[in-house]
Amino acid sequence: FYVTHNGRVGASDGIIFGSDTAAGNILNDYEEGTWTPTCESDGEIGTSQYTNTYTKIGRVVTINCDIHALTNITSSNPIKIGGLPFVASSTSVEYGSTAIHGERLDSSLIVAFLQYISPKWVIRFRKGVGSTTYNDVDHSDLNDSGDNNMRFSLTYETSA
């Protein structure tokens, strides 16, 4: 095996699996980029401290996000973030979940997950997961002038 001039590995032009042809097995749907999260609940998102990025391989998308300086940190409404770089694969109620780094939410375990709220998907957050009671992460949970941000990664599947 060797790497060809176009970066593919294989006998002559790709990776061959069993009796398949190389053309049918080439990883040709890889993309990296940046995305801009939006606040779909109360207020706006301030300027991110870090670049919000995504990696898409086939139908699987991983986003990295810095929710920084929400302008409304007093509302008791749950935080909802939109602006996903790709549409999720279905309109089921909840989809995907990952633990996140919440800088000022005490010792509570936080998860981020996608939820379809017609007509779009939004990212939501829950705190206290793993205990018998858990709650939404509300805007007021970030009411700390010194640190009102969250950073997380979330992986989900697209429809195409």
Please give the Cα distance from 68 to 47 (Å, whole number): 7
| Among the ranges given (1-15, 50-64, 79-93, 122-136), the one the predictor scored with the smallest mean pLDDT | 1-15
Tokens 């633990």 locate to: 99
Q: What is the pTM of this model?
A: 0.74
- Mean pLDDT across 26-47: 83
Please give the Cα distance from 139 to 143 (Å, whole number): 7
The pLDDT, as a whole number, for residue 159 is 75
Distance of CA 61 to the CA centre of its chain: 8
Q: Convert the pLDDT of each residue in 134-146 to its tens digit.
A: 788 888 888 766 6
Please give the Cα distance from 121 to 99 (Å, whole number): 19
Q: Convert the pLDDT of each residue in 70-128 to its tens digit.
A: 788 888 999 999 999 998 877 665 555 555 554 446 666 778 888 888 888 899 988 87
Coil, strand or helix at 25: helix
Q: Which residues of 54-72 are buried (b: 16+ CB within 10 A; e: fewer)?
A: bbbeeeebebbbbbbbbeb
Please give the Cα distance from 110 to 127 (Å, whole number): 4
What are the C-alpha distances in Å from 19 to residues 11, 15, 74? 13, 11, 61
